[in-house]
């Protein structure tokens, strides 16, 4: 169902947020910057997973409501206000900073504000420098800074190896998130992802949700698809009118 967003909830220029109603994850909200994992494709719909707080949440997405958008391409010629990043590392920084802002609103613990301000400044500088074609970003440094901030809010840990973000598409999801457990204090709080095949079989036996009207999806990589974790929410897609709502 659609819910009108309040000014404090707005990310980018989105005025509506999508609240999945299947199966029981009614508190899950997908907004710009959310990473979506398509675990499997069934007849007419996807079985999707998102990292939500310290656990994984499962839901379905009708295939007709998912648009594949390679990075750098505008989501829709009909709408110029949807925010997106041409560079995957800029999108990573943008998503992290938005998560921190939202987490700050609900934080009840003391935070090392000076350190947080430093991390935000560094990431913003990096994001600006990436626009320079001669600038070569240090991916490990970017991810380490994001992970440090994420730990403050008990958010997702991003695995990195050899200056590359590990691709969950070629490895087990839980293993990836726990691959650096010694360096990641929050990994122990991550609940294991339920067996994908078992969950998919369970979903196949049920009818797809009928009250999904629209959905917003974007890609962080041109080669993304099923079993690739690099799907990012970047706009709200109106399947009936073939446009993006903002």
Closest CA to 60 of 81, 34, 82, 42: 42
Under DSSP, the state recorded for 169 is G
In the chain the domains, ranked by start, together with CATH numbers, are 3-83 (2.30.30.40), 87-189 (no CATH)
pLDDT at residue 162, rounded to an integer: 59
pLDDT at residue 98, rounded to an integer: 75
Per-residue pLDDT tens for 180-234? 333 333 222 222 222 333 232 332 332 332 222 333 444 333 334 444 444 545 4
Mean pLDDT for the chain overall = 56
pLDDT at residue 119, rounded to an integer: 92
pLDDT at residue 151, rounded to an integer: 85
Q: Which residues lie across from 51 on neighbouring strands?
A: 56
Under DSSP, the state recorded for 158 is P
Gap between the Cα atoms of 234 and 215, Å rounded = 10
Per-residue pLDDT tens for 104-131? 877 767 788 888 889 999 998 988 887 7
Gap between the Cα atoms of 58 and 236, Å rounded = 19
Gap between the Cα atoms of 167 and 35, Å rounded = 13
Q: Where are the beta strands (DSSP E) in the chain?
A: 2-4, 16-18, 35-42, 45-52, 55-62, 160-161, 164-165, 218-219, 231-232, 236-238, 243-245
Does the pTM surpass 0.75? The reply is: no
Gap between the Cα atoms of 77 and 238, Å rounded = 13
Residue 91 has pLDDT above 50, yes or no: yes
Terminal alpha carbon distance of the chain: 16
Closest CA to 65 of 2, 6, 112: 2
pLDDT at residue 138, rounded to an integer: 84
Tokens read off for 3:
């819910």
């Amino acid at each position: 169902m659609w819910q009108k967003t309040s000014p404090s909830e707005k990310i980018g220029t989105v005025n509506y947020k999508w609240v999945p109603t299947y199966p029981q994850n009614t508190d899950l909200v997908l907004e710009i910057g959310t990473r979506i994992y398509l675990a499997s494709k069934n007849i007419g719909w996807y079985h999707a997973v998102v990292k939500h707080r310290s656990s994984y949440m499962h839901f379905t997405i009708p295939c007709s409501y998912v648009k594949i958008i390679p990075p750098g391409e505008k989501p829709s010629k009909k709408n110029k206000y949807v925010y997106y990043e041409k560079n995957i590392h800029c999108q990573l920084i943008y998503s992290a900073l938005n998560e921190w802002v939202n987490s700050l609103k609900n934080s009840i613990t003391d935070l090392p504000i000076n350190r947080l301000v430093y991390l935000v400044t560094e990431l913003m500088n990096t994001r600006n420098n990436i626009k320079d074609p001669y600038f070569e970003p240090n991916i490990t440094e970017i991810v380490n800074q994001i992970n440090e901030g994420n730990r403050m809010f008990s958010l997702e840990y991003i695995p990195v190896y050899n200056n590359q973000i590990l691709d969950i598409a070629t490895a087990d999801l839980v293993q990836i998130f726990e691959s650096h457990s010694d360096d990641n204090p929050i990994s122990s709080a991550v609940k294991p992802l339920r067996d994908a095949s078992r969950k998919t079989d369970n979903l196949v036996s049920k009818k797809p949700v009928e009250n999904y009207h629209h959905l917003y999806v974007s890609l962080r990589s041109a080669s993304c698809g099923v079993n690739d974790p690099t799907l990012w929410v970047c706009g709200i897609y109106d399947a009936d009118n073939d446009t993006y709502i903002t």
